[in-house]
A and B are shown apart, each in its own frame.
Chain A
Amino acid sequence: MIREPLPWQTPLWGGIQHRRSKGRLPHALLLEGPPGVGKRHFAEALAASLLCRGPVEEGVACGGCRACHLLESGAHGDLHRVTLLPRESKPEQLSSQIKVDQVRELCHVMGLTAHEGGYKVALLDPAERMTVEAANSLLKTLEEPPGDVLMMLVTDQPGLLPATIRSRCQRIGFTPPPEEEGRAWLTRRLEDAERAALLLALADGAPLRALEMAESDGAANRLELLEVVESLARGAGDPVSLSAHWYRQAPLEAVGWMESWLEDMIRLHWSDRPALLRNRDVAERLKRMALGYSRRELFLLREETHRAARLLRGGSINAQLLLEDLFTAWGGEETGKGLGGG
Chain B
Amino acid sequence: MRFSIGRETILRPLQMVISVVERRQTLPVLSNLLLVIEGNRLSITATDLEVEVSVTVEVESAEEGEITVPARKFVDICRALPEEATLEATLGEDHLKLRAGRSRFSLATLAAVEFPVIEEVAARRELALSVEKLKELISGTHFCMAQQDVRYYLNGLMLELAPGHLRAVATDGHRLAVCDVEEQIPVEGIEQVIVPRKGVQELLRLLGESEGEARVVLGQSHVRVELPQIRFTSKLIDGKFPDYQRVLPQDSDKRLVIDRRELTDALVRTSILSNEKYRGIRFVLEPERITVQAHNPEKEEAEEELAATFEGEQMEIGFNVGYVLDALNAISTGEVEMQLRDSNSSCLIKAPESEACRYVVMPMRL
Contact = CB atoms under 8 A, between A and B. Distances in A.
A112 B235 contact: yes
Contact of B152 (A73, A81, A108, A115): A108
Contacts of B152: 107-108, 111, 141, 146
B169 to A, nearest CB: 18
Contacts of A104: 148
Contact of B238 (A73, A77, A107, A146): A146
A36 to B, nearest CB: 26
Interface residues of B, number: 26
B60 interface: no
A84 to B, nearest CB: 13
Given A75-B115, A76-B116, A104-B148, A113 B235 contact: yes
Interface string A143-170: 0001100000000000000000000000
Interface in B113-166: 113-116, 118, 122, 148, 150, 152-153, 155
A252 interface: no
A147 B238 contact: yes
Main DSSP-derived SS at the A contact region? loop
Contacts of A117: 122, 220-221
Contacts of B29: 73, 75
Nearest to A113: B221
A75 B236 contact: no
A69 B49 contact: no
A114 B238 CA distance: 8
B194 to A, nearest CB: 9
B13 interface: no
A158 to B, nearest CB: 26
Interface string A189-224: 000000000000000000000000000000000000
Interface string B217-245: 00011100000000000011111000000
Nearest to B151: A140
A250 interface: no
Contacts of A141: 152
A115 B235 contact: yes
A111 B153 contact: yes
A258 B122 CA distance: 61
B236 A113 contact: yes
Given A114-B221, A115-B118, A146-B238, A109 B50 contact: yes
Given A75-B27, A107-B152, A112 B114 contact: no
A291 B155 CA distance: 68
A119 to B, nearest CB: 12
A75 B114 contact: yes
Nearest to B220: A117
A111 B150 contact: no
Interface string B22-43: 0000110110000000000000
B118 A146 contact: no
The range of chain A's interface size is 20 to 34
Most chain B beta-carbon contacts within 10 A, residue among A111, A140, A141: A111
B196 interface: yes
Contacts of B239: 111, 146
A231 to B, nearest CB: 47
Given A107-B152, A112-B238, A113-B236, A75 B116 contact: yes
B113 A77 contact: no
A74 interface: yes
B237 A111 contact: yes
A70 interface: yes
Most chain B beta-carbon contacts within 10 A, residue among A74, A77, A104, A147: A77
Given A70-B116, A75-B27, A117-B220, A112 B237 contact: yes
A107 B150 CA distance: 9
A81 B49 CA distance: 14
B238 A113 contact: yes
B221 to A, nearest CB: 3
B150 A140 contact: yes
A73 B114 contact: yes
A146 B115 CA distance: 26
Contacts of A69: 113
Most chain B beta-carbon contacts within 10 A, residue among A109, A115, A140, A146: A115
17 contacts: A73-B29, A75-B29, A75-B114, A75-B115, A77-B116, A104-B148, A111-B196, A111-B239, A113-B221, A113-B236, A113-B237, A114-B238, A115-B49, A115-B116, A117-B122, A140-B150, A146-B152
Interface of B: 26-27, 29-30, 49-50, 113-116, 118, 122, 148, 150, 152-153, 155, 196, 220-222, 235-239
Given A108-B155, A109-B49, 14 more contacts: A70-B116, A75-B30, A76-B116, A77-B116, A104-B148, A107-B152, A111-B196, A111-B239, A112-B236, A112-B238, A113-B222, A113-B235, A115-B116, A146-B239
User: What are the nearest 10 A-B pairs in CB distance?
Assistant: A113-B221, A111-B152, A146-B238, A147-B238, A112-B235, A77-B49, A113-B236, A73-B114, A113-B238, A113-B235
